[in-house]
Amino acid sequence: MILPSFSLNDHTVLLTGAAGLFGRGLASALAQAGATLIIASRNVDTLQAVADDETNLGHRVFAESFDQGDEASILALRNRISERFGVLHGLVNNSVLRPMKGANGTVAQWEESMRVNATGVMLMHRVFGSAMADAGRGSIVNIGSIQGLIGPSYELYAGTHMGDLPPDYFFHKGGMANLTRFYAALYGPKSVRVNCLAPGGFYNNQPELFVRRYAEHTMLNRMAGDEDLGGAVVFLLGNASRYITGVNLPVDGGYSAK
């Protein structure tokens, strides 16, 4: 039976950053797929509102607080989840901190970005991935970006206020692509899979000029929306993708293939 392999029933999944641009849609998709879902970030009050919304729909969603830039906080989160739910079946690394606002952001902003988005992501793999490996099963899905796979297209931004792009995002999303391969190789013999999504541009009320140019650069002639990432994440977490690991999957409407 193939259809049950797409279900996340009997899966306990941790999603970080579940209230932001990508996260809210992912939380909804994972909950609808049947996961017992733990959502975690620094702002637990915002997450609790998400958990309450999903619980009112009949889903099992629980909010937790943690700081991805703090190893002790990550370890404490693992311990709380383990005591209440056991070892995770799935982890979605979606949290991201964006302190740099442009090419000339400060060194302090760069270092803060790396603490959360590079060191923190590595620690999430080490702490939660090793527990999955000890249990002999699991799936990690990293939410990267096409900006970790290709360079910036400055021509899309001409005539808008959006063209001052920060280098830290390109650096740590590029690193995430190869970190995915590293942990896929490390944990693969213990039946833990590690994959990465590379989403394209997500519509967030950008200027009409930018939206039109971006859409023309894709094959589907539009930007991504709330329902465009969840299916791929559910697939990679579940048994339907049991022989897929080490993959960096563009979910970009054909942007990077055009």
Q: What is the pLDDT of residues 23-75, one digit of tens each?
A: 999 999 999 999 999 999 999 999 999 999 999 999 999 999 999 999 999 99
Asked, for residue 253, whether it belongs to a domain, the answer is no
Asked, for residue 171, whether it belongs to a domain, the answer is yes
The strands making up 192-199's β-sheet, listed across from edge to edge, are 60-65, 36-41, 12-16, 90-93, 138-143, 192-199, 248-251
Choose among 151, 158, 193, 178: nearest CA to 248.
178
Asked, for residue 109, whether it belongs to a domain, the answer is yes
State pTM to two decimals: 0.97
Residues 84-130 pLDDT 10s: 999 999 999 999 999 999 999 999 999 999 999 999 999 999 999 99
Distance CA 140, CA 190 (A): 13
If one counts the domains in the chain, the total is 1
Whether the CA torsion 27, 28, 33, 37 is positive or negative: it is: positive
- Indicate which CATH number applies to the domain containing 204: 3.40.50.720
Distance CA 222, CA 228 (A): 11
Asked, for residue 174, whether it belongs to a domain, the answer is yes
Helix (H, G, I), strand (E, B) or coil at 13: strand
157 close to 147: Cβ distance less than 8 angstroms: no
Q: Which domain holds residue 93?
A: 3-248
